A and B are shown apart, each in its own frame.
Chain A
Amino acid sequence: MSLQSVLSHTWLIPFLPFLAFALIGLLFHRWPKFSALLSILAIAGSFVLSVMAAFIVFTGPNDAVFEVAARWLDMPGLRVDMGLLVDPLTAVMLVVVTTVALLVQIYSLGYMHGDPGLASYYSFQSLFAGSMLGLVISNNFGQMFVFWELVGICSYLLIGFWFGRDSAKEAAKKAFITNRVGDFGFLLGILFLQIVFGTLNFNELAGQVAGYSNAAVLITISVLLLFGPMGKSAQFPLHVWLPDAMEGPTPVSALIHAATMVAAGVYLLARASFIFSSSAETMTLIAVVGGFTALFAASIALVQNDIKRILAYSTLSQLGYMVMAMGIGAMTAGMFHLMTHAFFKSLLFLGAGSVIHAMADEQNIWKMGNLNKKMPATTWTFVIGALALAGIPPLSGFWSKDEILLGAFAGGHTGLYILGSLVAFMTAFYMFRLIFVAFFGSNHGGEKAHESPAVMTVPLVILAILAVVAGFVNTPLMGNIFGHYISAPNAVHHEPSMSIMIISSLIALAGICLAWLIYQKQVISHEALKERFSAIYQVLYNKFYIDEFYALLIKYCVDGTAKVLEWFDLKVVNGAVNGLAYLTGRSGYGLKYTENGQVQTYAVYMYAGIVVLLISALCAVFTVLA
């Protein structure tokens, strides 16, 4: 099979899951097991195609880009294509998304076993896979936005999957609405792009933006476009939906809210980097937002007690890392971290799911304990995932996180480097707090548990292997292969610095040690710490009261605006209409006296008209003659 023929079939990659969704939804929803099989086959097919496509892209010439497009909408001033773009960036995303999606769907066979909505669950999973793949394969902003919204819908559907629960319904709404706020800004940015540049195609825009000089316009567009990733990748202040999204089934959290959908924002930052990098102010903004989110989320994660919440805040924090990397121009590092994070975070979530499944839906880590005795496979894969997340060499997380820190330090952003290191310390600390309390430690809640079935543990093992080896594609020892393919147009290649690597490893180890001391050895009592820093503890535990603040804001702003508009509608609009009627009535009252039934009055009216006509005719005639 030749190069072109495989690449020309890349449209199948998103199409197969969409087909599965349609078939399950329309025909097969009464047979859950068959639906599941169909969905898994579709995603497996996409996986195979993605790997083949990636192979072709990476073994081809360095700047091979495959694009095909069909005209969809052609009006003067607006041209929207449907097209595919396959370049190294796309290829990486395709492989990551299909791998994680396939493993999650296999895992779900065990986790969602016996759930009455299994068929619709798999149809939603397929829909999501198709939308996400369509998003990364789009060649223009318009099509991408369509898929962007589609993944938002899938998130809503899957978060609120157990719709019998009020909390799930609320969480789904919150996710969708917060995303919508971000998407609004994103759409404005896209419209601006269309107005200013006349095209939405990525490659064409790249060429045009390079020569464009109006800085104010570029800043506006890039900030507006930034709203998309802020919503989708849950950056501050639109982060509020991600923790609540944990109401969905755990495989959903693994797939969507750890590995793929939230990564769509980072992907956009990479894909549209030519726009963002055209304005230094926006890049600074991106870096600051990312860094702040990282610190903010990590600090909240320190005190959470729900296993999924901890992982959710961890995701927020790592997304902040990725966004920060994009902001300092280290696109390679950001995408690399996206890839490694997808693997180990989904591993962690699936492991958590395994634990929850075994503990009969208990999610509080203090009610667990000593799980390692009964669930060795889950425990040790989870530990591998946590080590990767903490950034211990030679696991993948170390290489990617180190690359980001290197980029920050060597690029002169010392503040961000320190922030990043601090967050690394906190990350290691809270992850191992979780591990020591839930898997080891002195509680005995976990001893009633039993190991999960193979269909759940095999994906865990596969992901663990990936979490270990995925980092080697971009280590300095192997020549930074990843960086050759995926880098910003004018990226600066920093020399790997031994000192940075050693420092970051030490920081991670320090975090683990502290956690060990407090939670395993209990040399320092966490209760006493809680007492001493009770004010800070309260603020962190309550997530900085952001949710309450938003509720207040909505109450005052939205309701207040609604009240003003209601007044306007009742008094002004109604008043105008009623006033018109009133005027007509009153003038009728007044004018009725002209109809007095007297013939002579009517004769006067008629003659008045005649005299007016006559005099005007005479005037016209005489002015013409004169």
Chain B
Amino acid sequence: MIGFTHYLIFATLLFGIGLFGVLAKRSAVAVLMSVELMLNAVNINFVAISKYIVPNAGVGQLFALFVIVVAAAEVAVGLALIINIFRQKKSVDLHDFNLLKW
């Protein structure tokens, strides 16, 4: 009964939640966490396609694996950046980082 479309819809919902988090949170770390949610949603998409559209080919899972690798690297670097900024500005509130405004 649960088919391919349900997985896709589930992934879309997860993506939407992550998107809302990116746009509406104040803390930089929270934004990073929401980005992780979005990446996970995308991974679910890949794996679902891999199972239902091209079964036993495994390419979808491989791609999801690479996405996990890249996400890990990105989190590491991103958090390092946040820590650095925190040292300068003593805050991780995105609204304090507005040096490029008019």
Contact = CB atoms under 8 A, between A and B. Distances in A.
Interface of A: 592-593, 595-600, 603-604, 607
Given A596-B101, A600-B22, 8 more contacts: A595-B100, A595-B101, A595-B102, A597-B102, A599-B97, A600-B24, A600-B31, A603-B23
Contact of B23 (A593, A596, A597, A604): A604
B101 A599 contact: no
B95 A598 contact: yes
B32 interface: no
B8 interface: no
B29 interface: no
B100 A600 contact: no
Contact of A596 (B19, B24, B102): B102
29 contacts: A592-B102, A593-B102, A595-B100, A595-B101, A595-B102, A596-B98, A596-B101, A596-B102, A597-B98, A597-B99, A597-B100, A597-B101, A597-B102, A598-B95, A598-B97, A598-B98, A598-B101, A599-B94, A599-B97, A600-B22, A600-B23, A600-B24, A600-B31, A600-B94, A603-B22, A603-B23, A604-B23, A607-B19, A607-B23
Contacts of B24: 600
Contacts of A592: 102
B63 to A, nearest CB: 22
B9 to A, nearest CB: 15
Contacts, number: 31
Contact of B97 (A595, A597, A607): A597
A600 B97 CA distance: 11
Nearest to B22: A603
5 A-B pairs closest in CB distance:
A597-B101, A597-B98, A592-B102, A597-B100, A595-B102
Contacts of B97: 597-599
Contacts of A604: 23
Nearest to A591: B102
Contacts of A607: 19, 23
A600 B22 CA distance: 7
Nearest to A601: B23
Nearest to A602: B100
A281 to B, nearest CB: 74
Contacts of B31: 600
Contacts of B22: 600, 603
B16 to A, nearest CB: 11
B95 to A, nearest CB: 6
B86 to A, nearest CB: 16
Contacts of A595: 100-102
Contacts of A600: 22-24, 31, 94
Interface in B82-102: 94-95, 97-102
Interface string B19-35: 10011100000010000
Contacts of B23: 600, 603-604, 607
Interface in B56-102: 94-95, 97-102
Contacts of A603: 22-23
A164 B65 CA distance: 102
A603 B34 CA distance: 14
Contacts of B98: 596-598
A21 to B, nearest CB: 72
B102 A598 contact: no
B69 to A, nearest CB: 25
Contacts of A596: 98, 101-102
A521 B94 CA distance: 119
A597 B102 CA distance: 8
A595 B101 CA distance: 5
B27 to A, nearest CB: 11
B94 A598 contact: yes
